[in-house]
Amino acid sequence: MSNIRLQKIIADAGTCSRRKAEDLIRDRKVRVNGEMAKIGQSADPEKDEIIVDKKKIFQEEKIYFLLNKPVGVVSTVSDEQGRESVVDLIKTDKRIVPVGRLDSSTAGLLILTNDGDLVNKLTHPKFEHEKEYQALAQIPHDWNEARLKDAIQKMKSGVKIADDFRTSPAKVNIISQKSNDRYLLSITIHEGRKHQVRQMIDAVGMSVVALKRVRTGSLVLGDLKEGEYRELSEREVSELKK
């Protein structure tokens, strides 16, 4: 194996984040083959002995989970307010992190892994796999069918949301009508702006009652109930890495 930046090796071993690894190197708590490590240093994890805070590190086996995140659970590793996080729901002794985020009031598909390269790839702005959501949206009481169709067409074409950002064209369809003023919509985007789907719905005059992500690229939520999770297959991981 070729040499790799030291902070990446430490993060991939599940010890801590890359940023924290840099702090450990800076604080002189990392040694490579008995020598004090330096910021910017590289090493070969298969040949070099790397000691972090007096403990030898080993490369972890990569694991990948698909979680149906429940409403009320935060998409972080830990929470200052003591709220339950997505990591708390996964039974593993490895240090995993969520790939991206779903806000607390949104449910659905979330990937968790200890594969730092995949996390960086999927959260990079250039990553444009489709993300499909199901939104239960409420329309104003005085709307008719024409107003609803006009709102959907606006979301399809692109709307302005926070920071004067105009969304790219989206796929928007009505799945079913749930009541006189509530509709279940399918909304597919390829961007990843914070609260984008909620803001798109708000921008056209509707409001969100409930929101769930059901697909990322070729990876679908399927029959998983809220709070349930499963490991990804090798084929699914390969698809995500393309």
Q: CATH code at 207?
A: 3.30.70.1560
On the question of pLDDT at 65 being above 90, the answer is yes
**pLDDT value at residue 122:** 86
Judge if 41 and 21 occupy the same domain.
yes
**pLDDT value at residue 235:** 95
On the question of pLDDT at 220 being above 70, the answer is yes
Report yes or no on whether pTM surpasses 0.85.
Answer: no
Judge if 111 and 37 occupy the same domain.
no
Q: How far apart are CA 198 and CA 162, in angstroms?
A: 11
Q: Which pLDDT band, with edges at 50, 70 and 90, does 95 fall under?
A: confident
181 belongs to the catalytic site:
no
Tokens 């919509």 identify what position? 185
Q: How far apart are CA 155 and CA 62, in angstroms?
A: 38
Parallel, antiparallel or unpaired: strands 107-113 and 207-216: parallel
CA 143 to chain centre: 35
Judge if 121 and 227 occupy the same domain.
yes
> Domain range for residue 20?
4-56
Q: How far apart are CA 156 and CA 170, in angstroms?
A: 5
Judge if 144 and 206 occupy the same domain.
yes
Q: Token pair for residue 33?
A: 């083959």
pLDDT digits (tens, 9 = 90+) for 136-178: 999 999 999 999 999 999 999 999 999 999 999 999 999 999 9
Judge if 144 and 204 occupy the same domain.
yes
CA-based nearest residue to 96, from 218, 241, 229: 229
On the question of pLDDT at 126 being above 80, the answer is no
* Set 53, 88, 103, 150: catalytic member: 103
Number of domains in the chain: 3
pLDDT digits (tens, 9 = 90+) for 24-64: 999 999 999 999 999 999 999 888 999 999 999 887 789 99
For residue 71, give the DSSP letter.
T
Q: How far apart are CA 50 and CA 1, in angstroms?
A: 15
pLDDT digits (tens, 9 = 90+) for 5-32: 999 888 888 788 888 999 999 999 999 9
Find the mean pLDDT for residues 86-110: 93
Q: How far apart are CA 238 and CA 242, in angstroms?
A: 6
